[in-house]
Amino acid sequence: MSTELKKTPLNGVHRELGGKMVDFGGWDMPVQYKAGVIEEHMATRTRAGLFDVSHMGEIWVEGPDAIAFVNRLTTNDVTKLADGQAHYSCFTNHDGGVVDDLLVYRFGPERLLLVVNAATTEKDWAWIRSHHSEHDDLALRNASADYCQIAIQGPRALEILKKLTETDLTGIKYYWFTEGEVDGVPAIISRTGYTGEDGFEVYAAPDKAVQLWNAMMHAGSDDGILPCGLAARNTLRLEAAMSLYGHELGDDIAPLEAGLGWITKLGKEAEFIGKDKLAAMKEAGLKRKLAGFEMTEPGIARDGFDVYINGEKAGVVTSGSPAPFLKKNIGLAFLPAEFANPGQEIKVDIRGKQVAAVVVPTPFYKREK
Amino acid sequence: MSNIPENLRYSKDHEWVSVEGDVATIGITDYAQSSLGDVVYVDFPRAGDKFATHEAFGSVESVKAVSEIFTPVGGEVVEVNEGLNDAPESVNNDPYGDGWMVKVKMDNPGEADAMMSSAEYEEYLSSNG
């Protein structure tokens, strides 16, 4: 049955915890648990939050040409990665639009792991295979079903996870990873996340997911760890101004427009798909840019609402929400480049009412280190 | 399980009404607040505004969603719950008490009687919820 929702190995756990389940890109996922999105969000900002992200896709690229191949498909410079290091990147199409955003993990000179979005895993898999020529000496493997992924995020995440592993977690720097054990389970331990907090993402065999989840919940109980659903994941990433595919990123949006110039390495040696278009776009100057804004009058901007500047429609809100930690109503919108600077006054059309907002610097939230 | 007090009348849009004389106090039900999640903002009409039956008179917003609120009874708004500006979470914590939204002087007090009883609303929830 093609209409049946996919389930992660933690589906039963979510239901036991009172998770409110929704269809998220074909996956049956908890949007929130009993505590509610605000409590979950605050737990992650001030203590720790636990997230099931097992729906994410994992694709192995292995062989002598692995690095050259991924470098041809993605915007960041894979040759700069060391063993045990990861980076954020994008697959771009021939127009310079974003096929998906992803993490690239380098396990060895001939071994890379690509972690992609859940809803786009099949699209990415087809895209990657379509660019695999007979001259590329490598093997591709869609291993999405071979992993569960659990993210533990927040200022207490390190101390909590320490209780469950002999791996020196402090020694893992941000955007580095190692292979070790968590609660006796072989795992990839990655110091990454999608919340703007310190924390880890743990990959392991799916049949160990429930054990790992329960071990982390138990280890974090004194610290007030809370299970967190997709709603909190979204508000956390929005406060940190991290892009969400299908919102700030898409097939017709260039990474440069979305503020991802820092992972678009036009100067790298390798040609990558869409590089010429992106270089030309940069040369000509960007027409639109992603801008962060906060509401200055009561009202909440939501995804898809129109933005007006000087009485004319100037853009669209890509993500808009109350920000539970900042206690403001914030959003991201594509605006003409000349209007995308902090201080610019804009209006958001909220159900027919023009409500004032102002462009502000991003990220909205930055943790203290 | 939703809390559905017996002394109130209910609409299909999940509003409740409490009647005193020709004035109806209106809020959203426990089921509605639970479906919405954490309420962060309530957009009200002003006292003096007039609404026909089943007209959208405001909206209640949670972190995740927006829900319009409809007047289950027509009439003139005589009071709004200003307390929700500072404590919108009252809609979650006390939907039938501190979470009330507006008071309406009804054009036709009979309208409230025609709304669902608690038993009917419970039945409605179990078949549509």
Ordered structural domains, chain B, with CATH: 9-108+117-128 (2.40.50.100)
Dist. CA A172–CA A165, nearest whole Å: 13
The verdict on A40 and A93 lying in the same domain is no
The verdict on A47 and A153 lying in the same domain is yes
Asked whether the beta carbons of B93 and B99 are under 8 A apart, the reply is: yes
B129 touches chain A (CB under 8 A): no
Dist. CA A274–CA A282, nearest whole Å: 12
The verdict on A193 and A164 lying in the same domain is yes
Q: Which whole-number Å values give the CA distances from A97 to A335, A350, B111, in the listed order? A: 17, 29, 56
The verdict on A15 and A126 lying in the same domain is no
Dist. CA B106–CA B128, nearest whole Å: 28
For residue A239, the one-letter residue type is: E
The verdict on A317 and A331 lying in the same domain is yes
How does DSSP classify residue A74?
Answer: B
Answer yes or no: is A194 within a domain.
yes
**Smallest CA–CA separation between A171 and chain B, in Å?**
37
Contact flag A231-B41 (C-beta cutoff 8 Å): no
Contact flag B64-A38 (C-beta cutoff 8 Å): no
Answer yes or no: is A15 within a domain.
yes
CATH number of residue A81's parent domain:
3.30.70.1400
Best to test chain B binding among A300, A328, A349, A350 (most B CBs inside 10 Å): A300
The verdict on A229 and A353 lying in the same domain is no
A296-308 pLDDT, tens digit each: 999 999 999 999 9
pLDDT on residue A1: 44
The verdict on A71 and A186 lying in the same domain is no
Task: Check pLDDT > 80 for residue B111.
Answer: yes
Answer yes or no: is A282 within a domain.
no
pLDDT on residue B44: 86
Buried b (16+ CB within 10 A) or exposed e, B22-54: ebbbbbbbbbbbebbbbbbbbbbbeeeeebeee
CATH number of residue A171's parent domain:
3.30.1360.120
Q: Which of A6, A16, A21, A10 is nearest to A51 (CA)?
A: A10
Best to test chain A binding among B36, B38, B42 (most A CBs inside 10 Å): B38
Dist. CA A140–CA B3, nearest whole Å: 54
Asked whether the beta carbons of A94 and A274 are under 8 A apart, the reply is: yes
Q: Picking from A1-10, A349-358, B90-99, which range would have the lowest pLDDT averaged per residue?
A: A1-10
pLDDT averaged over chain A? 97
Radius of gyration of chain B (CA): 13
Answer yes or no: is A33 within a domain.
yes
Q: Which whole-number Å values give the CA distances from A50 to A94, A227, A237, A246, in the listed order? A: 38, 5, 14, 24
Nearest CB to A324 within list B61, B63, B92? B63
Out of A202, A223, A239, a domain closes at A239
ipTM more than 0.95?
no
The dihedral sign for the CA sequence A52, A57, A153, A218: positive
How does DSSP classify residue A120?
Answer: T
The dihedral sign for the CA sequence B99, B102, B105, B108: negative
Answer yes or no: is A343 within a domain.
yes
pLDDT on residue A2: 52
pLDDT averaged over chain B? 93
A31 contacts on B by Cβ (under 8 Å): 64
CATH number of residue A309's parent domain:
2.40.30.110
Answer yes or no: is A246 within a domain.
no
B84-109 pLDDT, tens digit each: 999 999 999 999 999 999 999 999 98
Nearest CB to B63 within list A20, A37, A298? A37
A279 touches chain B (CB under 8 A): no
pLDDT on residue B129: 54
The verdict on A172 and A191 lying in the same domain is yes
B34 touches chain A (CB under 8 A): no
Answer yes or no: is A140 within a domain.
no
Answer yes or no: is A254 within a domain.
no
Q: A283 or B1, which is more confident? A: A283
Q: Which of A342, A345, A258 is nearest to A295 (CA)?
A: A345
B2 pLDDT tier (thresholds 50, 70, 90): confident
The verdict on A216 and A97 lying in the same domain is no
For residue A7, what are the contacts with CB-CB under 8 A and spacing of at least 6? A27, A28
A180-195 pLDDT, tens digit each: 999 999 999 999 999 9
The verdict on A66 and A49 lying in the same domain is no
Q: How many CB pairs under 8 A join A and B?
A: 37
Q: Tell me how far apart the 2 most distant CA atoms of chain B are, in Å.
A: 37
**Smallest CA–CA separation between B45 and chain A, in Å?**
13
The verdict on A123 and A74 lying in the same domain is yes
A328 touches chain B (CB under 8 A): no
The verdict on A155 and A28 lying in the same domain is yes
Q: Looking at residues A230-242, what average pLDDT do you find? A: 98
User: Which residue of chain B is at minimal alpha-carbon distance from A233?
Assistant: B64
Domain, as residue range, for A47: 11-54+147-239
**How many domains, chain A?**
3
Asked whether the beta carbons of A77 and A222 are under 8 A apart, the reply is: no
Where does residue A282 rank: exposed (0-12), middle (13-18), buried (19+ CB within 10 A)? Answer: middle
Phi, psi torsion values for A162, nearest 5 degrees: -55, -35
